[in-house]
Amino acid sequence: MSQKKKLPPLRQALVVGTVHTRSGLVAAVALPSRAVDCLEIRLDALAGSLPLLESTLPRLKFPLLLTARHPAEGGSGCLGTRDRAKLLARFLALAGGVDIELRSVHALGAVMTAAADAGLTRVVSFHDFQRTPSLSQLRSKLRAAWAAGADVVKIATTLRHPRDLAVLLELADAAGDGPVALMGMGPLGRVSRLALAAAGSCLNYGYLDRPQVPGQWPAARLKELIKGVES
């Protein structure tokens, strides 16, 4: 396996291209070098394509963020803790970072420790596909994720009303100097991703071949838009 590439500094709004299909993996190989800043490899969604992963991941020119998502937070294949841990460990030597849900940090504690020992970026995440919890509830998630050893806290919620976006914007302000990745899903997802990137979200996710959740931008287009806002 090739040497891992570290994620870029988190002091800027980075764009993450999500790879969750075989066609997305093929598209990632041909991606121009400045199209995204890093790639999220959804190991749960690609668990049936391990030979393809093993042959393709070393060829990718971007830092890799490995995710083996819990089924309750959008994971594919109903994978148990042991299978998810094996997937992450199998490709950890190629990773620049790992994303583990807040609910899984104890169950996947060995992966968290291995990631820390290897100097990888540890993203601790929370996803709500039904609603946007209250600001106080989300602040509690932030505190718990920092306490669990997060280098970045990622929170993705479903936005059904403009006030839901307001909650995430307030959360961005409340996060202080700690790196956070905040995004909305659903009808207001696209506008939220631009607004939250401008408000300090350091990891901003877009798709390569097809959306993974409602409200995503194509990753290359998201990079162009965020660069335009910053300039």
Active site members: 127, 154
Angle at 22 between CA 17 and CA 23, to 5 degrees: 70
Say if residues 12 and 202 touch (Cβ distance below 8 Å).
Answer: yes
- Where does the chain show beta strands of DSSP type E? 14-19, 38-42, 64-67, 97-101, 121-128, 152-158, 180-185, 203-207, 217-218
Q: Where do the H-state alpha helices sit in 1-117?
A: 22-29, 50-56, 81-91, 109-117
**R_g of the chain, CA atoms, integer Å:** 16
